[in-house]
Amino acid sequence: MAWFQSQNLWVEEAGEGIAALVLDGPGKRNYLDSSILAEIEQALSAVEAEPRFRVCVLRSKKGGSFCHGVRAETFAGLESQAAWENFRAQGERICDRLTQARMPTVALIAGVCWGAGLELALACDWRVALDNPGTQLGITELDLGLIPSWGHIGRVVHMAGLQRSLHILLGGKKLSAREALAWGLVDDVVRDNAESPPDLMQQAAKRDAQRPRRTWRQWLTESVGWTRRLVLRGAERVLRRRLPDDMPAPWELLGAIRAETERGAEAGRDHVRAALPKLAASAACRNLLRVQVLRDAQLGADAATQRPKRIGILGATPLALHLAAQAAVKGCHVLLREKDEMTLGMITLRLVQTLQNDALKAGISQDQFTDNVNRIRPTIKWKDFDTVELVVDAMAGGMEVDERLVRELEENIRPEAVIATVQPWRELAAWQRLLRNPQRVIGVHFPAPVGRAPLIEVLSGPDTGESAKRCVQGFAAMLGKVATAALEPSGGVINRVLCSGFAEALHLLAEGIAPERVEQAMQRFGMVYTPLEHLDQMGLDEFALIARRLEPALGEAVAEHPVVRHMLDQRWLGMKTVVGFYRHLATKRTEHRPLASWLRRTFASKATPMSTAEQRKVVQARIVGRMVNEAFRCLDERIVESADQVDLALMLAGWAPHRGGPCKYGEQTGYPAVVASLEELARQHGKRFEPAAGLRRLA
The answer, yes or no, to whether the previous bond of 449 is cis (omega within 30 of 0) is: yes
10 - beta bridge partners? 5, 22
Q: Does position 249 have pLDDT exceeding 70, yes or no?
A: yes
Which residues in 502-585 belong to E strands, given as ranges?
Answer: 582-584
Neighbour tally for 452: CB within 10 Å = 12
367: which residues sit within 8 A by CB, 6+ positions away? none
Q: What is the mean pLDDT of residues 630-644?
A: 94
Q: What is the DSSP letter of 33?
A: -
Containing domain of residue 221, as a range?
A: 4-281
CATH of the domain at 321: 3.40.50.720
CA dihedral 325, 326, 331, 335 (to 10 degrees): -50
Where a domain ends, among 416, 451, 486? 486
Note the pTM of the prediction, 2 decimals. 0.91
Q: Does position 204 have pLDDT exceeding 80, yes or no?
A: no
- Collapsing DSSP to helix, strand or coil, 110 comes out as coil
The answer to whether 128 and 189 have CB atoms below 8 angstroms apart is yes
Q: Is 73 a catalytic residue?
A: no
**Pairwise CA distance, residues 105 & 125, whole Å:** 5
Question: pLDDT > 90: what percent of the chain?
Answer: 66
Residues 461 and 568 in one domain: no
Residue 402 backbone phi and psi in degrees, to 5: -75, 105
Residues 261 and 325 in one domain: no
- Collapsing DSSP to helix, strand or coil, 336 comes out as strand
Residues 439 and 317 in one domain: yes
Residues 472 and 517 in one domain: no
Q: What is the mean pLDDT of residues 678-687?
A: 95
170 lies in a domain? yes
Residues 81 and 133 in one domain: yes
Among 268-282, 360-374, 439-453, 513-527, name the one with the lowest average pLDDT: 360-374
Among 99-108, 350-359, 487-496, 605-614, name the one with the lowest average pLDDT: 350-359
Provide the pLDDT for residue 405: 87
Q: For the purposes of burial, counting CB atoms within 10 Å of the CB of 408, is it exposed (0-12), middle (13-18) or buried (19 or more)?
A: middle
- Strands of the 112-114 sheet, one edge to the other: 65-67, 112-114, 136-138
Q: pLDDT digit string (tens) for 148-184?
A: 999 889 889 888 888 899 999 999 999 999 999 999 8
Where a domain ends, among 486, 514, 531? 486
Q: Check 39, 92, 141, 542 and give the catalytic one.
A: 141
CATH of the domain at 582: 1.10.1040.50
Provide the pLDDT for residue 203: 65
Which residues in 428-535 belong to E strands, given as ranges?
Answer: 441-445, 455-460, 482-487
Please report which confidence band the pLDDT of residue 687 belongs to, taking 50, 70 and 90 as the band edges.
very high
CATH of the domain at 210: 3.90.226.10
Q: What is the mean pLDDT of residues 236-253?
A: 94
Provide the pLDDT for residue 63: 82
Residues 428 and 508 in one domain: no
Q: Check 119, 252, 338, 533 and give the catalytic one.
A: 119
Provide the pLDDT for residue 214: 67
359 lies in a domain? yes
Q: Does position 210 have pLDDT exceeding 90, yes or no?
A: no
Among 195-204, 219-228, 472-481, name the one with the lowest average pLDDT: 195-204
| CA 408 and chain centroid, separation | 39
**Pairwise CA distance, residues 318 & 626, whole Å:** 31
Q: Does position 472 have pLDDT exceeding 90, yes or no?
A: yes
17 lies in a domain? yes
Q: Which long-range contacts (CB under 8 A, 24 or more apart) does 399-403 make?
A: 399/425, 399/426, 399/427, 399/545, 399/548, 399/549, 400/426, 400/430, 401/426, 401/427, 401/430, 401/431, 401/434, 403/434
Q: Does position 130 have pLDDT exceeding 70, yes or no?
A: yes
289 lies in a domain? no
18 - beta bridge partners? 15, 55
Q: Is 119 a catalytic residue?
A: yes
Q: pLDDT digit string (tens) for 384-432?
A: 999 999 999 998 888 788 888 888 999 999 999 999 999 888 888 888 8
The answer to whether 96 and 309 have CB atoms below 8 angstroms apart is no
Q: pLDDT digit string (tens) for 67-124?
A: 999 999 999 999 999 999 999 999 999 999 999 999 999 999 999 999 999 999 999 9
288 lies in a domain? no
**Pairwise CA distance, residues 208 & 44, whole Å:** 19
Where a domain ends, among 429, 463, 486? 486
Over the chain, what is the mean pLDDT?
90
Question: Which amino acid would we find at residue 250?
Answer: P
What DSSP string describes 63-76?
TTEEE--B-HHHHH
Q: pLDDT digit string (tens) for 303-343?
A: 778 899 999 999 888 889 899 999 998 999 999 998 888 88
538 lies in a domain? yes
Helical pair 265-281 and 283-303, crossing angle rounded to 10 deg: 70
294 lies in a domain? no
Report the relative pairing of strands 55-60 and 105-109 from DSSP bridges.
parallel
**Pairwise CA distance, residues 598 & 495, whole Å:** 28
333 - beta bridge partners? 310
Residues 174 and 221 in one domain: yes
Provide the pLDDT for residue 209: 60
Give the chain's domain count: 3
Q: What is the mean pLDDT of residues 625-641?
A: 95
What DSSP string describes 47-66?
HHH-TT--EEEEEESSTTEE
Question: pLDDT > 70: what percent of the chain?
Answer: 96
Q: For the purposes of burial, counting CB atoms within 10 Å of the CB of 503, is it exposed (0-12), middle (13-18) or buried (19 or more)?
A: buried
Residue with the bigger pLDDT between 604 and 253: it is: 253
Among 245-254, 367-376, 650-659, name the one with the lowest average pLDDT: 367-376
What DSSP string describes 593-643?
HHHHHHHHHHHGGGPPP--HHHHHHHHHHHHHHHHHHHHHHHHHTTSSS-H
Residues 463 and 525 in one domain: no
Residues 424 and 553 in one domain: no
- Collapsing DSSP to helix, strand or coil, 250 comes out as helix
The answer to whether 552 and 563 have CB atoms below 8 angstroms apart is no
Provide the pLDDT for residue 520: 95
**Pairwise CA distance, residues 433 & 436, whole Å:** 8
Provide the pLDDT for residue 265: 86
**Pairwise CA distance, residues 151 & 259, whole Å:** 13
Q: What is the DSSP letter of 307?
A: P
Q: What is the mean pLDDT of residues 345-355?
A: 86
Q: Does position 218 have pLDDT exceeding 80, yes or no?
A: no
Residues 594 and 538 in one domain: yes
Residues 367 and 396 in one domain: yes
Provide the pLDDT for residue 212: 65
Please report which confidence band the pLDDT of residue 198 belongs to, taking 50, 70 and 90 as the band edges.
low
Which residues in 453-551 belong to E strands, given as ranges?
Answer: 455-460, 482-487
**Pairwise CA distance, residues 252 & 249, whole Å:** 5
Provide the pLDDT for residue 202: 63
372 lies in a domain? yes
Residues 465 and 503 in one domain: no
